[in-house]
Structures are given as structure tokens and as C-alpha cells.
Amino acid sequence: MSELKGWRELPIGAIPFKLSTEFKTGDWRTFKPVIKQDKCVKCLLCWIYCPDMSIVWDGEKVTVNYDYCKGCGICAHECPVKAIEMVKEG
Ligand code: SF4
Ligand code: SF4
């Protein structure tokens, strides 16, 4: 078995040099989550499950940071009261 390379041996470009906050990944999205505030029971499961930390809780309501939301739909899948609808972008 060959030995793994150290990070100094990786080719240029293999390591991102910017902070992840500088990559606005929201433009990867095909579907966007829309939260129906009248149905939301503020359980914050969407906040826990979102892999991109794109669900924002301000102490009163949950919203989506569309700069980083990739539209994976996990939040909509996990919402126990179906308060999140995935809507096609465009
Ligand atoms: S669609 Fe995915 S990335 Fe966007 S808020 Fe929901 S869980 Fe997060
Ligand atoms: S999972 Fe659904 S009910 Fe819970 S906070 Fe998120 S949108 Fe609201």
C-alpha cells in the first residue's frame, strides 16, 4: 500500500485558500426551501439538520440564508409539520 501524501506535497489548487464564508454556494441551488411561518412550531429541527448552517433562528422565527443554502431539501424532509416547501428556482 502506498503512503499517503502530506499536505505540502499536494498540487497547487488542492487546498482552498479562502474562508468557506467567501464561497456563496447558494447559486448551486435548483430548488429553494420556503418556510411557511404560519405552520412552523419553532422546534428548530431544520436548524439542527441543515448541513450548511443556512437556517437562521433570530429568537422569534426561522428564516433561510439563501447566500449559502444549496437546496438539498434536508430541512423540508425533517420538518415534523411540513412547514418547509421546496420550490423550483426561477
Ligand atoms: S435546503 Fe439544505 S442547505 Fe438549504 S436550508 Fe434546507 S437543509 Fe439547509
Ligand atoms: S423544522 Fe419545521 S417546524 Fe421546526 S423550526 Fe423548522 S420549519 Fe419550523
**All domains of the chain in start order, with CATH:** 24-88 (3.30.70.20)
- Note the Cα 73 to chain centre separation in Å: 9
What's this model's pTM, rounded to 2 decimal places?
Answer: 0.83
The residues with which 62 forms a beta bridge, in sequence order, are 57
pLDDT of residue 76: 98
Question: How far apart are the CA of 56 and the centre of ligand 1, in A?
Answer: 11
What proportion of the chain, given as a percentage, has pLDDT over 70? 96
Question: How far apart are the CA of 57 and the centre of ligand 2, in A?
Answer: 10
pLDDT of residue 1: 61
pLDDT of residue 20: 75
Residue nearest (by alpha carbon) to ligand 1 atom 2: 72
Query: Beta-strand (E) ranges in 1-90?
Result: 31-35, 55-57, 62-64, 84-88
Q: Which residues contact 70 (CB under 8 A, 6 or more apart)?
A: 25, 26, 28, 29, 52, 54
Alpha-carbon distance values, 6 to 2, 3, 15, 18, 29 (Å): 13, 9, 12, 20, 34
Residue nearest (by alpha carbon) to ligand 2 atom 8: 40
